[in-house]
A and B are shown apart, each in its own frame.
Chain A
Amino acid sequence: MLIMKNLAKVFYADRIKTQALHPFDLQVEQGEFVSIIGSSGSGKTTFLNIAGLLEEHSEGVYLLGGQDVTTMKDKQKSAFRNEKIGFVFQSFNLIPELNLYDNVDMPLRYRKFTAAERDKRIMQALEQVGLAGRKHHYPNQLSGGQQQRVAIARAIAGSPAMILADEPTGNLDSKMAQGIMTLLKDINAQGTSIIMVTHDNEQAAQANRIIQIKDGHLSELKTLEKAIA
Chain B
Amino acid sequence: MKDFFPILKSLKKQKIAPILLTLQVAITFMVLVNTAYMIGERSKKMQRPTGLDEANTFYIVTNFLSEPHQVIAEQNDILRQIRGVEGVVGATALPSLSLVGWGRYTDFYLEPNGNSVGFGGYLSSDEHALKTLDLEMIAGEWFVPSDILETDKEGTFLPSQVVVTQALAQKIYPDNWRDIVGTTLYFNGAPHHVKGVIKTLQNAWQFWSAVDATVLAGVNEAQPASPSHIAVRTQPGRLEEVMNNTVETLLKTPGRKIEKMSTMREVRQKAYKEDLATSKILTAIGVGLAIITALGIFGQARYNVSRRTQQIGTRRALGANKWDIVRFFMVENAVVSSIGVVIGLLGAIILNNQFVELLSINPVPLSYLLAGTVVIFILGQLAVIYPATRASRVSPAIATRGA
Interface residues of A (CB under 8 A from B): 45, 48-49, 52-55, 74-75, 78-79, 81-83, 87, 89-91, 93, 95-99, 102, 105-107, 109-111, 138, 154, 158, 166
Whether the Cβ atoms of A110 and B317 lie closer than 8 Å is no
Whether the Cβ atoms of A98 and B324 lie closer than 8 Å is no
Complex Cα spacing A102 to B321, Å: 19
Closest chain B residue, CB of each to CB of A107 = B318
Complex Cα spacing A52 to B400, Å: 11
Query: Known contacts being A52-B317, A95-B311, A109-B3, is A166 close to B10, with CB within 8 Å?
Result: no
Query: Known contacts being A81-B319, A102-B6, A102-B9, is A54 close to B314, with CB within 8 Å?
Result: no
Residue with the highest number of chain B CB atoms closer than 10 Å, among A53, A75, A93, A95? A93
Whether the Cβ atoms of A91 and B402 lie closer than 8 Å is yes
Residues of A within 8 Å of B6, CB to CB, are: 98, 102, 105-106, 109
Closest 5 pairs (CB-CB, A-B):
A82-B319, A78-B321, A97-B10, A107-B318, A97-B13
Whether the Cβ atoms of B324 and A89 lie closer than 8 Å is no
Closest chain B residue, CB of each to CB of A55 = B397
Whether the Cβ atoms of B2 and A74 lie closer than 8 Å is no
Q: Which of B3, B311, B319, B396 contacts A79 (CB 8 A)?
A: B319
Query: Known contacts being A98-B9, A105-B6, A109-B3, is A82 close to B318, with CB within 8 Å?
Result: yes
Closest chain B residue, CB of each to CB of A56 = B397
Whether the Cβ atoms of B318 and A154 lie closer than 8 Å is yes
Residues of A within 8 Å of B311, CB to CB, are: 93, 95
Whether the Cβ atoms of A78 and B399 lie closer than 8 Å is no
Complex Cα spacing A78 to B312, Å: 13
Whether the Cβ atoms of A54 and B397 lie closer than 8 Å is yes
Closest chain B residue, CB of each to CB of A80 = B319
Closest chain A residue, CB of each to CB of B14 = A97
Whether the Cβ atoms of B318 and A87 lie closer than 8 Å is yes
CB distance from A184 to the nearest CB of B (A): 17
Residues of A within 8 Å of B2, CB to CB, are: 109-110
Whether the Cβ atoms of A89 and B319 lie closer than 8 Å is no
CB distance from A170 to the nearest CB of B (A): 11
Residues of B within 8 Å of A91, CB to CB, are: 402
Query: Known contacts being A45-B401, A54-B399, A166-B400, is A74 close to B322, with CB within 8 Å?
Result: yes
Query: Known contacts being A81-B317, A110-B319, is A54 close to B324, with CB within 8 Å?
Result: no
Which positions 369-403 of chain B face chain A at CB distance < 8 Å?
A: 395-397, 399-402
CB distance from A195 to the nearest CB of B (A): 13
Complex Cα spacing A154 to B319, Å: 12
CB distance from B312 to the nearest CB of A (A): 10
Whether the Cβ atoms of A87 and B321 lie closer than 8 Å is no
Query: Known contacts being A54-B399, A89-B399, A93-B310, is A79 close to B321, with CB within 8 Å?
Result: yes
Whether the Cβ atoms of B324 and A110 lie closer than 8 Å is yes
Complex Cα spacing A52 to B401, Å: 13
Q: Which of B9, B317, B322, B402 contacts A87 (CB 8 A)?
A: B317
